[in-house]
Every structure is written in C-alpha cells, then in structure tokens.
C-alpha cells in the first residue's frame, strides 16, 4: 500500500509542476485592437468586419485552442486511475477532474464568442446581431467585453495554476497518509480570491467589484471582508472559493432561462421575453465572497447571492425521487449520519421526525454545490468542498436571510489545519446559531 501511495504522491507532484509551469503560445499583439474593432462594429454600428479583421479574430481563437490543448496535455499515466479508485474511490477520481472541466470554459467561452463575431461579414449578419442586443446571448457591456481580452496571457497562466488546485489537495492527503508533514505555507487569501473572481468573471460575464452596485443588466462578483492569513496551501482553499460563486452565477443562468422560456411559451419572441425578464429584476445579480477572522484560530469563508433561495421541499422531493431511481449508496451524501436518516425514512414514514434542521441544511448544501436545485445529489463540487473542509477540521452553516431571502453559506475552517485550535469547530457553529457570533454577508 505504501508503494502505491508513494507512486500517487510522485504523480501529483508532476501534475502540479506541469500546470504551474505550462509554457503557452503568446496571444497576438493585435488582440486588443482587434477586439476594439469588434466593439465598434457591434456597439457603434460601424461596417461589418473586413477580411483582415476576420483573419485576426481567427488567429486569436486558434491561439486560445492551442493553449487549451497545452493545458490538457498532462495525461494520466497507465495504472494511475486504478490506484486512485482503489485507495480513494471513484468519487475522488471525479473530483480531480471536476474543476478542470469547468475551468476550461474560461477560455472556451471567449474563444467561441470571438469565433461567432468573425462570422459578421455582411450587412445582413450585422443587422441580425443588432436585432438581438436584448437577448441573453448579447447582454454585453463594451468596456467589460474589452477587459476580458486585455491580458489573455496572464489570465491563461492563472487558469493553468487553478488546474493544479485539486492535485494540491490530493498531495496533502497522500503526504498525511504516508506519515509525513505536509508543507503548509503562510498564505493570504486575498490573492486567491482575486484570481478566482477574475477567472469566473471572464467565464460567466460578471464584473469583480469591491462595492455592491445596483444595475440589473449586469452581474457581479462582490468581494468583501478583511485580510485573512492562514497556514495552508492555496490550492485546496482555492477549489472551495471557486465552486461557491460559480454555482451562484450558474443559478442566475437557470433562473433567466426558465423565465424566458415561460414567456416564450406564452407567445412572446425571445428578444422581447429577455427584455421583460431584465425589466422584472429588482436589483443586480450578485454573487458575494467574504473572508473574516474568527476567534480561537478559525476563519470564515462567506458565500451569498441575490438569487432565489433554495426550495427545501423541492430538494427533498428530488432527493426522494433519486433514492427511488437508483441505489441510495451511490448518491453523494454529506455524511453517513445523513444517509442513514434518509434510509430510515425510506422504510418508515414516521422516521421523518428524526430529521433535524442540520439535515435540511445539508440538503440545501448539496443543491447549492451542484448549481442546480433539480439535481441536488450529484456533482463533484459538493464532494470536493466537503472533503477539503472536513479534512481541514472545518464545518459549514446554511441559512436564508429574513429580509431578502438570500441564501448564505458560511465555512468555518481552522487557520492552521495541522496545528488545530483546542476549541472544537462545533462550538463556533453553535455560537452562530445562538446569535453570539456573526459576520457580514
């Protein structure tokens, strides 16, 4: 067994070194000026793109594709997947590729968008795009649209470093299992949050802001809180920070699609339906990330958003359906205790009375981490975040605000997972519930 773990440890070190040391093809020097030409065409109603600009756009999109393939050139060596499944399970193998699959879209989406723009070569195509300015596909702010392409070289390097995050957590676990002391460098969370927010913003069309704004046409990632310094590798905590706002922003997509589809079913064209949806919004679509120091050697990661709260009845109904359709042991539960309680309910209706608010919070957490309340029992975001928090000696809380009904998740984590505080984390969780401890959200 030790030999297997050592093989896996060496493999994780190679993966981390590869992602952190990727050498990319530089983006063309004309990238920003070419994007400016696209902006003039789309927003200032200039002439369609000429052949020169079409070729330049294709050069940029080809560079995106090449760099995506470079990041993806780090394959599993023979036998590695079998070893991971043997010692850590199938879900853990899925977690190692989960963030990567999502992160890739941070380059895929800009590439595809420019590829579509390169097709605007006639007056007819240009009129088509102008007619769709109010559609979901075309809610673009010129300044923000340009900003996504200003420093593609740096954002691509950041993206590759984030690919290494799950492998860093795996390295941490393997080091502990081998009886060694993991390296836990002193890390300031601000830099991790800034990088994560920038990558998410580019992927999901959200501005990164330090003050909440009130513009329904825009999305934002609002960063708040105070400086927090921890003793841990930035990779694992970066994985948690990525999944929180990502699922909030994806939830906004789901809400918009559902609302527009309902209006379309009523006979309203998509462009008008989207305008109706935008007019119905009473505030900005905002995902928030906060960091706060807590007593006794802990810190809080706070995630909230301005979207709809999670429907407990819907989530439990969906969980019930999933338990009936497949083996409950295959579902991703938050804990063995939660699984056992729902299995008991499966065999005895009155066992429902044993479910606590903690159980319901775990169901809400499962839904949030998948980014889709209709599928609350799948998703590696849940699995990976739970594994990291639990292995670091932390816990989490969920609530909805009384005034606005906004969902709020708070992770309570030791600042030094190796030398953990003497005060159990459950004590701080109880203080939140009792009202003796709180943080802004």
Least confident of 44-53, 312-321, 370-379: 370-379
Residue 355 has pLDDT above 70, yes or no: no
Structure-model confidence comparison of residues 87 and 320, the more confident one: 87
Mean pLDDT, the chain, rounded, equals 81
Could you give the C-alpha distances from 360 to 62, 173, 363, in angstroms and in order? 47, 29, 5
- 3-state percent breakdown (helix, strand, coil) of the chain, nearest 5: 60, 10, 30
Predicted confidence band of residue 101 (pLDDT cuts 50, 70, 90): confident
- Output the pLDDT for position 371: 47
Average pLDDT for residues 301-327, to the nearest whole number? 76
Q: Is the pLDDT of residue 50 over 50?
A: yes
pLDDT tens by residue, 378-397: 456 667 787 888 899 998 88
Q: Are 3 and 39 in contact (CB under 8 A)?
A: no
Say if residue 314's pLDDT is above 70: no
CA distance 154 to 156: 5
pLDDT reported for residue 399? 79
pLDDT at 290: 95
241 contacts 106 by C-beta, under 8 angstroms:
no
Position 228 scores a pLDDT of 96
pLDDT attached to residue 189:
95
Sorting pLDDT into bands at 50, 70 and 90, what band is 302?
very high
- pLDDT for 68 beyond 80: yes
What share of the chain in percent tops pLDDT 70?
A: 81
Q: Cα-flanking dihedrals φ and ψ of residue 397, to 5°?
A: -130, 150
76-91 pLDDT per residue, tens: 778 899 999 899 887 7
């Amino acid at each position: 067994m030790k030999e297997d773990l050592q093989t896996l440890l060496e493999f994780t070190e190679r993966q981390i070194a590869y992602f952190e040391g990727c050498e990319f093809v530089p983006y063309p020097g004309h990238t920003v000026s070419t994007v400016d030409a696209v902006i003039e065409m789309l927003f200032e109603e200039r002439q369609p793109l000429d052949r020169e600009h079409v070729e330049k756009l294709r050069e940029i999109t080809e560079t995106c594709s090449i760099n995506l393939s470079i990041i993806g050139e780090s394959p599993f060596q023979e036998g590695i997947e079998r070893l991971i499944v043997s010692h850590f399970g199938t879900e853990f193998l899925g977690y190692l590729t989960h963030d990567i699959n999502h992160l890739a879209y941070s380059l895929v989406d800009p590439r595809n968008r420019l590829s579509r723009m390169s097709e605007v070569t006639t007056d007819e195509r240009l009129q088509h795009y102008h007619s769709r300015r109010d559609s979901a596909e075309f809610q673009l702010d010129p300044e923000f649209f340009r900003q996504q392409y200003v420093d593609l070289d740096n954002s691509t390097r950041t993206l590759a470093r984030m690919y290494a995050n799950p492998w860093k957590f795996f390295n941490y676990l393997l080091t502990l299992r081998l009886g060694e002391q993991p390296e836990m460098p002193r890390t300031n969370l601000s830099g991790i949050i800034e990088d994560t927010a920038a990558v998410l913003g580019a992927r999901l069309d959200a501005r990164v802001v330090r003050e909440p704004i009130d513009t329904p046409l825009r999305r934002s990632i609002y960063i708040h809180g105070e400086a927090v310094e921890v003793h841990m590798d930035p990779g694992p905590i970066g994985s948690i920070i990525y999944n929180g706002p990502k699922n909030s922003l994806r939830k906004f997509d789901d809400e918009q699609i559902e609302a527009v589809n309902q209006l379309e079913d009523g006979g309203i064209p998509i462009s008008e339906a989207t305008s109706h949806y935008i007019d119905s919004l009473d505030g900005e679509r905002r995902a928030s990330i906060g960091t706060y120091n807590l007593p006794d050697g802990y810190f809080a990661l706070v995630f909230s958003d301005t979207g709809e709260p999670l429907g407990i009845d819907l989530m439990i109904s969906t969980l019930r359906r999933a338990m009936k359709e497949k083996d409950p042991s295959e579902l991703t539960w938050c804990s063995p205790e939660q699984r056992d309680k729902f299995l008991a309910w499966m065999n005895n209706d009155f066992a429902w009375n044993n479910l606590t608010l903690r159980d319901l919070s775990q169901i809400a957490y499962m839904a949030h981490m998948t980014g889709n309340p209709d599928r609350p029992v799948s998703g590696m975001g849940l699995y990976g975040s739970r594994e990291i928090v639990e292995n670091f000696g932390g816990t989490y809380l969920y609530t909805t605000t009384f005034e606005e009904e906004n969902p709020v998740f708070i992770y309570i984590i030791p600042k030094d997972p190796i030398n953990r505080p003497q005060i159990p984390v459950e004590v701080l969780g109880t203080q939140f519930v009792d009202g003796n401890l709180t943080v802004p959200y």
